[in-house]
Structure 1
Amino acid sequence: MSHRLRAYFLTGIVIAGPLAITAYITWWFINLVDGWVKPFVPARYLPETYLDFPIPGFGLIVALFGLTLLGFLTANLVGRSMLDFGEMLLGRMPVVRGLYRSVKQIFETVFSQSGTSFRTVGLVQFPTKGMWSIVFMSTPPTGEMAERLPGPDEHVAVFLPCTPNPTTGFFFYLPRKEVIELSISVEDGAKLIMSAGLIQPEGQKRLAGLAAEAKRPGLAPRTSITPVREQG
């Protein structure tokens, strides 16, 4: 009986833990956007002006509607002309123009529907021969960068994230033949990096199987998950 209770308790943690953390982060994000947007909305348009309690998410809805409307207005000729004029003014500011162009290029790359950045996970020998690290493959170099790289081999840009914070790391070019492409998704690769190898792609499927098994009546879930090591 104690073994079954312990197994059910661990299964409950596996199921409830991610749900609780996701709900907390979602609630925090909603309140954050509300705090940014609501001060710009006139009080007569706020629901809490007429109700005895605030409506969470109202600021998020206003932000989504405003961003969609902004994209619609800039899609026509008049809106595009106004945007070009504003970018021309920013281009005349010595410090602001460099910052704006860099941030704009990053956003265009990340949110581009036709972009190919960070869609492939690979392995490279880093920091020394015989030590393999996970990288995210980006677009190949173009223009002067491609001409200046030595050797006849095709090069590729890769980003090597750090553990446990994948937003920091190293960016470099190397021959494509030195990268071993993996069939796992970028999301699975990021989980593998953030967990320092504890959450393997196969292990994530086993976690899902554990949660499904716990829902089956009359069966006691397994208490441990044997990680599957990557070959090579």
Structure 2
Amino acid sequence: MATKNWLKNLLRIFLQGLIILAPIVITIWALTSLFYFVDRILPDIFESIIPEFSTYYLPGMGFIVALLIIFTVGYVSSSFVVGKLVELFDSILQKTPGIKIIYTTLKDFFEAFAGNKRKFDKAILVSVAAADVWQIGFITQQEVQEFGLNEFVAVYVPQSYAFAGHLYFVKRDRVRLLTDVSSANAMKFAISGGVTSIDEETAARTAKEL
């Protein structure tokens, strides 16, 4: 009996340590992997052209240069001349067969999260499977008339514990706009499978119909 209790306590202590360390270790691993990935983009390009470049490379240099390039492009893109050049280059890529599919998909994806055309800023509850079953989603298009659906909206429903989701066309009366939960918290709640908590002062999720 004493041995059984000792094993249970040992398992409890192990799980407690795992719960504390796992999120920290995985977060550090993810950030470190992202850092090294970005840090090696430019050096790998230069080394393919100039093999001797590796002699002068210092860890972190590629990451700093990448950040400087991103900030520089973001800053100069606001000028009239550079803005026109960006628009011209954008137009060429969007009209090039094959490339336009990849380019426009990636461009729309990044703009949906951080650009001027953000799409995941309207958190909703949507009833897709059954009348009394609701899922967290995001309205990505208010009008989908080009698909022959006049009273429908485009709704993206994320999957739990996955960087994926489903697109649905649903009628407006089956969509409820969340007013007491931010889009960020709604996305976090959906991806976590509902185990995370809502950060707002009130956790009540009242909704109003569109």
When normalised by structure 1's length, the TM-score is: 0.63
How far does residue 139 in structure 1 lie from its aligned partner after superposition?
Answer: 4.6
Partner of 1:95: 98
Deviation at 1:45, TM superposition (A): 7.9
Structure 2 equivalent of residue 68 of structure 1: 71
- % identity of equivalent residues: 22
Q: Which of the pair has the greater relative contact order for Cα pairs under 8 Å at 6+ separation?
A: 1
Instruction: Kindly provide the CA deviation profile for residues 70-124 of structure 1, in whole angstroms up to 9, marking residues without a partner as x.
Output: 2233322332233233234435533333443343333333222x55522233222
Asked whether the 8 Å contact 2:137–2:157 carries over to 1, the reply is yes
DSSP-derived class of the 1:126 partner = coil
Q: Does 1:24 align with 2:29?
A: yes
Gaps of 5+ in 1: 206-227
Please tell me whether the aligned partners of residues 37 and 63 of structure 1 are also in contact (alpha carbons under 8 angstroms): yes
Number of residue pairs the alignment of both structures matches: 194
Q: Which residue of 1 aligns with 2:156?
A: 159
Matched, 1:77 2:73: no
Q: Distance in 2 between matches of 1:135 and 1:91?
A: 29
Matching residue's letter, 1:149: N
Q: What whole-Å deviation, never above 9, does each CA across 1:172-202 have from its counterpart, x for those lacking one?
A: 2421x422333233343334333433x1426
Q: Does 1:149 align with 2:150?
A: yes
Consecutive unaligned residues of structure 2, counting only runs of 5 or more, are none
Superposition deviation, residue 25 in structure 1: 0.6
Residue of structure 1 in register with 2:138 after alignment: 136
Q: Which residue of the partner structure matches residue 201 of structure 1? A: 197
Look up the SS of the partner of 1:75 in the other structure. Answer: coil
Q: Which moved more, 1:58-67 or 1:77-86?
A: 77-86
C-alpha separation in 2, matches of 1:39 and 1:65: 18
Of 179, 183, 186, the residue aligned with 2:175 is: 179
CA distance in 1, matches of 2:94, 2:176: 42
TM-score, structure 2 as length reference: 0.69
Q: Secondary structure at the match of 2:142?
A: coil
Distance 2:162 2:107 in 1: 23
Does the 8 Å contact 1:124/1:179 carry over to 2?
yes
> C-alpha separation between the residues in 1 aligned to 2:183 and 2:92?
38
- Equivalent positions of 1:2-81 (< 5 A) are 10-41=15-46, 49=56, 54-55=58-59, 57-81=60-84
- Structure 1 residue 147: deviation in Å? 8.8
Describe the shift of the 1:77–1:6 C-alpha distance in structure 2 as closer, same or farther (beyond 3 A). Answer: same
- Partners of 1:80 and 1:73 in 2: CA distance: 8
Measured on the aligned residues, the alpha-carbon RMSD in Å equals 3.9
Map Cα deviations across residues 132-188 of structure 1 (whole Å, 9 max, x no partner): 22212335227x5599504xxxx543212233324221232421x422333233343
Distance 1:12 1:179 in 2: 42
- SS of the equivalent of 1:159 reads strand
The secondary structure found in structure 2 opposite 1:164 is: coil
Maintained 8 Å contact 1:164/1:196: yes
